[in-house]
Amino acid sequence: MAESLSDELTGTLRTVFLFSRTDTQELGSIANTASKITNYQFTDGAGSGQADLVYAETRTIPANTMETFDLLNLDQPTLGVNVAFTFRQLRAIRVVNESAVSGQKLFIGVNPGSPTSVYAAEVGPGSEWHAVNYLNSWRVTSENSNVSISNPNPTGVNYSLYLMGTSVTGPTGP
């Protein structure tokens, strides 16, 4: 039995984090397909369900390397100007492996100090990893601000990184 799972970002990153998930299971000549559309509506601001920072970038990670991003200190060139991004609260994070080559996977959250690979997710070609805390968000501190992406492949891999959050520190949760 073959099974495929695909996600497609169908909304704008400026106001809506909207994606369609399609799950297809094939058994002989019969294909069962189930689709679910999830819509996270963000308004402009620093309160619950709001975001005032949106970061989107497609990058190439070289073979056998790891990149680490600090959510408290991100730069992105926009119209020839480096714009500083400081996420104090994170609402959504999404990493998409843009490769179409079989077996080209990426690891998310690799621990570089460990002799073995420790990671939160393995993202295959054409797949994604995401986490959404739409209402409460995650408070970003110096202890949890690093996001690591590792490429264990013998060639470079393109990936897209999407972040939504606020620049204002919200109240600590219970």
* One-letter amino acid of 85: F
Q: Would residue 161 count as lying in a domain? A: yes
- Strand 53-61 vs strand 157-166: parallel, antiparallel, or unpaired? antiparallel
> Is residue 22 included in any domain, yes or no?
no
The answer to whether position 152 is within a domain reads yes
Which domain, by its residues, includes 60? 46-166
Is position 133 within any domain? Answer: yes
Q: Is residue 10 in a domain?
A: no
Q: How many domains does the chain have?
A: 1
Residues of the chain short of pLDDT 70, as ranges, are: 1-41, 76-81, 110-118, 169-174
What confidence tens digit (pLDDT) does each residue in 18-58 have? 555 555 666 666 655 555 555 666 777 777 778 888 888 88
Question: Could you count the other beta carbons within 10 Å of the beta carbon of residue 51?
Answer: 28
Decide if 75 is inside a domain: yes
Report the 3 state secondary structure along 33-76: EEEEEEEEECEECCCCCEECEEEEEEEEECCCEEEEEECCCEEE
Which CATH number belongs to the domain containing residue 104 in this structure?
2.60.120.10
pLDDT at 105: 93
